[in-house]
Amino acid sequence: MSRLYSTAPTSLLRRRSSPTSTSRPSRQAPHAALSAATERARSGTLSPEDAHDIFDELLLQATPVPGRALTGFLAAVARAQACSDGLSLVVALFNRMPRCDGTPVAPPTVHTYGILLDSCCRARQPDLALAFFGRFLRAGLKANNLIANTLLKVLCHAKRTDEAVDVLLHRMPHLGCVPDAISYTTVIKGLCDDSRSQHALDLLRVMAKQEAACSPDVVSYNTVIHGFLKEGKFSTTSNLFNEMVQQGVVPDAVTYSSIIGALCKRGRSKEARQILDCGILKGLKPDIVAYTTMLHGYATEGRLVDMNNLYNLMIGEGIVPNQYVFSILINAHAKCGSVDEALLIFENMHKQGVQPDVVTYSTMIDAFCRNGRMNDAIEQFNQMINMGVPPNIRTYSCLVRGYCTHGDLVRAKELVHEMKEKGILYPGIMFFQSIINDLCNEGRVADAQDIFDFMIHIGEKPDVIMFTSLIGGYCLVGKMQKACRVHDDMVSVGIQPNTITYSTLIDGYFKAGMVDAALTLFREMLGMAAKPDTLTYNIIMDGLFKAGKTVAAKEKFHEMVKSGLRLSIDTYNVILSGLCKNGCADEAVMLFDKLQAMNLKFDIITLTTVIDAMFNVGRIEQAKNLFVAIPAKGLVPNVITYTTMMSNLIEKGLVEEADSIFSSMETSGCPPNSHLLNVIIRKLLKKGEIVRAISYMSILDGKSMLLEASTTSQLISLFSRQGIYHKHKDLLPARYQFFEGDIHS
């Protein structure tokens, strides 16, 4: 057993004589000293040096120490808080039990080996545990269930669950042991931990066939249920839950909490609530953990009404909300924009004596910042400091982002400097990148440039992503000269532009009408390390189509195909849309027919584009059939699809079919927007369908939506004193009645 000796550090194996030890036992009373040392180990005040000193004294005694006393001492040492490595110490002491003359300090017993196996198991040392088990067998000791169950646990920790099953079902009788509920549950848990929950269920069924003393209990069922939930097998879990109840095993709080938690994590809070209500009907009183889990599920899904109702139910049951519950409620309302409601909950939290922590304060501050209420945010910031809650990096980040977003860059910079002075790690490049990207997308490129310069000033080094975002901002507002200057600055500091950088510049040139510059840069890319990709070609083709250069766009498409680049659905959408906008709808329909034969997966943009093309080339029935087939393709029509269908049907004189589609739109969960209604009104007026147009105006008015300028202009032209529909003006909704030839709105 030399390897057993090698598991303990030599500093632990040698005799200790620590000068700091104040509890060196008297040689006249080693047994009493052992008892006292055991108590010290249990209280966490016994050091490894003290333990070795005890053994020094025991080795000098002529008579063996009672095995029970020594076993109790080893058990206490194994779990001693003062010993950072209890296993090494226990092994070292165990290996010192034999005296020089071969007689032991105390003969190792079954319990002694049980302690060793358990220590190895807790220290995740299965190989060492199995070595001790072999030594146990060679010692001729008779195993009991404690030893056997610990062995099962060791095998499961070692991921040797098949061996554990074999020991459980076949080997334990040879060891003189009868498997009990702990034996089965240990192996069942090992199988579940190994993602073999079906095998665990099979073993549970074997267990159920044993004697009553070994019948599955709530712990056994909970273990398998948790395993199936972890594997995402909800239907099997549901069946097992019902089986559990039928077998007379009463589900406990752990059962319900496990199922509720798993369902909520997967966005199935409705089913989770059914489980909770089922438990309540069966007399179970959910604890705060179950309620918290359910509240968090509702919050994650944005179901605030259900969340608030459950909270009120929880209060009615006499359960006092803790900080975590309040944080869930506050965060949920804040995310949904209900800042005032979140503030009321926050204030109620104070009234109930629950102290908000930095996370809760930061959540409130973030909510205020996102809604532009910077004065409220800074007031909350000052309050948390006064309450002794120090702000952290998240708190400051919320404020910095808020001030940047709402235009007070000076205050944002002051806060960053304040963080630096307080020794708080200020936000890094990813944080500033996010702000710059948001500002650029809003067209606030001057503010983005200011933040960019400030970031460099405080020592942060922008990367290719940040430079590209800034370039994109300048491209968005049409300032291509400045975009190119940022590109040059980027290269000058040693950062090489990537494909996205060049694609962004090319897109900017096209949007600014600088087609030749875009194509020149594209040609330059072909000789660079950053080669054009699918996105680059999509931008090029889209730009050429929009510039009316259909032939050049087609050439780029063929060039892309030859290059071997992947053609995405976005690529085909660019081609189809470009052909339609350039009077080539027939080509678009032919291309779509070819794509259908290739079993390509379309998106709703593709189908909407093709429906419009089919109407343009007179394939009306085919267009209508394609619209009807949208759900069968796993897609859902959007408001643009409905606008396309209705406007084309009205143009073709099929106004009743257009009305029918409008009705189906409202019932399908896709509410019409202002643009759709304006398009319909204009199309109907053009067709002379005055009554229908006015009915849609009433719908627009009822939804508190406004007429677009082009619709208003058309109405003035048609219903004024000189208009052809002047005599019908009284049919218009009240707010659109004429006065002196004008429309009031």
Banded model confidence at residue 25, pLDDT cuts 50, 70, 90: very low
Q: Which domain holds residue 685?
A: 662-745
Q: How far is CA 561 from the centre of its chain?
A: 38
Nearest to 399 by CA among 420, 375, 434, 423: 375
Question: What is the per-residue pLDDT across 663-704, written as a single tens digit (0 to 9) for each?
Answer: 998 788 888 999 999 999 999 999 888 889 989 998 998 888
State pTM to two decimals.
0.65
Q: CA angle, corner 721, sides to 718 and 724, nearest 5?
A: 40
- Give the three-state DSSP class for 198: helix
Tokens of 739: 């006065």
- Of 92-96, 559-563, 589-593, which range is least confident? 92-96
Give the other-Cβ count within 10 Å of 319's Cβ: 18
Tokens 């009205």 -> residue: 650
Structural domain contains residue 20 = no
pLDDT bucket at 17, cuts 50 / 70 / 90: very low
Can you tell me which residue has the tokens 């950088």? 501
575: in domain: no
- Do 455 and 432 touch, CB atoms closer than 8 A? yes
pLDDT tens digits along 173-223 = 887 888 888 888 989 999 998 899 999 999 888 888 876 567 888 999 999
Span 107-153, pLDDT tens digits: 677 777 777 777 777 777 777 777 777 777 777 778 788 888 888 88
Residue 684 lies in a domain: yes
- Structure confidence by residue, pLDDT tens digits, 281-296: 888 888 899 999 999 9
Q: Which residue has the higher pLDDT, 721 or 297?
A: 297
Q: 5 pLDDT exceeds 90?
A: no
Contact (Cβ atoms closer than 8 angstroms) between residue 509 and residue 536: no
CB atoms within 10 A of CB 430: 10
Which amino acid does the sequence have at 629?
Answer: A
- Write down the pLDDT at residue 596: 87
Q: Which residues contact 423 (CB under 8 A, 6 or more apart)?
A: none
CA atoms within 13 A on the CB side of 26: 4
Q: 581 or 107: which carries more pLDDT confidence?
A: 581
**572 close to 536: Cβ distance less than 8 angstroms:** no
Task: Give tens-digit pLDDT for 469-525.
Answer: 999 999 999 999 999 999 999 999 999 999 999 999 999 999 999 999 999 999 999
% of the chain beyond a pLDDT of 70: 83
Summarised one tens digit per residue, pLDDT across range 603-616 is: 999 999 999 999 99
What's the mean pLDDT in 430-452? 91
What percent of the chain lies above the pLDDT cut of 90?
Answer: 44
Question: What's the mean pLDDT in 252-274?
Answer: 88
Q: In this model, does residue 12 exceed pLDDT 60?
A: no
φ, ψ of residue 428 in degrees (nearest 5): -90, -165
CA distance 225 to 237: 6
Q: Which of 34-48, 528-542, 543-557, 722-736 has the lowest mean pLDDT?
A: 34-48
What is the residue-averaged pLDDT of the chain? 84
Mean pLDDT of 630-657: 94
- Answer whether residue 711 is part of any domain: yes
Q: Is residue 700 part of a domain?
A: yes
CA proximity to 45, closest of 83, 7, 9: 83
Does residue 265 form part of some domain?
no
CA dist 224 and 421 (Å) reads: 54
* Inter-residue contact 440 to 472 (CB < 8 Å): yes
Using the predicted structure, report yes or no on whether residue 9 has a pLDDT greater than 60: no
Domain count, the chain: 1
Residue 295 in any domain: the answer is no
Which whole number is the average pLDDT over 72-100? 60
Q: In this model, does residue 32 exceed pLDDT 70?
A: no
Residue 742 placed within a domain? yes
For the residues 6-35, what does the mean pLDDT come to?
44
Q: What value does the mean pLDDT take over residues 251-257?
A: 87
Model confidence at 14, pLDDT cuts 50, 70, 90, reads: very low
Q: Tokens in use for 734?
A: 């009240």
Question: Letter for the amino acid at 495?
Answer: I
Torsion, Cα of 42, 44, 45, 46 (10° steps): 60
Top pLDDT among 93 and 436 is at 436
Per-residue buried b or exposed e for 663-686, using 16+ beta carbons within 10 Å of the residue's own CB: eebeeeebebeeebbbbbbbbbbe
6 pLDDT band, cuts 50/70/90, is very low
| Centroid of chain to Cα 615 | 43
> What φ, ψ does residue 336 adopt, rounded to 5°?
-85, 5
In 3-state terms, what secondary structure has residue 275? helix
